[in-house]
Structure 1
Amino acid sequence: MFITYAVIAALMSAVLLASAGAKFTRPKRLVDQMSTLGLPDGVLPFLGVAQIAGAVGLVVGLRWGPLGIAAAVGLTLYFIGAVATHLRVGDFKGTPPAAVLTATAVALIALRTASL
C-alpha cells in the first residue's frame, strides 16, 4: 500500500504544483474560468498556496504518515469545494476533472491510513 501511496502522492503533487503555478501566473484562460465560476481574482493566490501546502503535505507524508493523511483530507475538502463551485454555476465541463481529483484525494487517505 505504501508504494501505491508514494506513486499517487507524487503524481498528485505534480498536478497540484502545476495548477498552483497557473494560479500565480494568471493565464487568461484561468482568469476567464474563475470569472465564470464567480470567484474574484484575489482568491487565486489563496488557492495556489492551498495547493502547494497540499502537495508538500503529501510528500512529507511519505515520512510522517499523519501529515500525509491530513494533507489528503484537506485536498479532499478543497476539491469537494471545486466540484460544488462548478456545479453551482452549471459548468459541467469543469466538474469531472475536479471530481477525479476528489476521488484521488480520498484514495490517498485510504492508502496512507492502510500503510501506517
Structure 2
Amino acid sequence: MTIFHCFSGDEAMARECAEHGYFMSFAGNITFKNADELRRAAASAPLELLLTETDPLPHPHPYRGKPGGPYLTPITARMLAEVREMDAGDLAEAVWANAETALGSWD
C-alpha cells in the first residue's frame, strides 16, 4: 500500500500513481492561488485513489499562518470536489471509502 502524502505532483505524476494503484492524498496546498497544476492533477486522478489530509503545513487558504488541525480538512475536500466538478458529499463518501481501503475499517 502506497500513499503519496501531501501530493504535490502534476498530471503526469498523477497518471503514474494511478497506473501503480497508489493513493494520492491532497492537503491545503490545493487551495493556493498558484496551484493550478496541482488542481489539474487532482481533477485527472481516479476517484478511487483520492484521499484528503490535514497536514501540519501547508494550511488551506485563507488559514495560512494560523493554527492548523482537522477542522481545515473540509476546505481541502470542497476544493477537491470543485476541481472534479462533483458534489462535496459524494466526494466525502468516496474519500471515506478510500481511507478504509487504504488504512482499514474504522469499526
Q: What TM-score does the superposition give when structure 2 sets the normalisation length?
A: 0.30
- Greater fraction helix: 1
Question: Which of the pair has the greater relative contact order for Cα pairs under 8 Å at 6+ separation?
Answer: 1
Q: What TM-score does the superposition give when structure 1 sets the normalisation length?
A: 0.28
- Greater fraction strand: 2
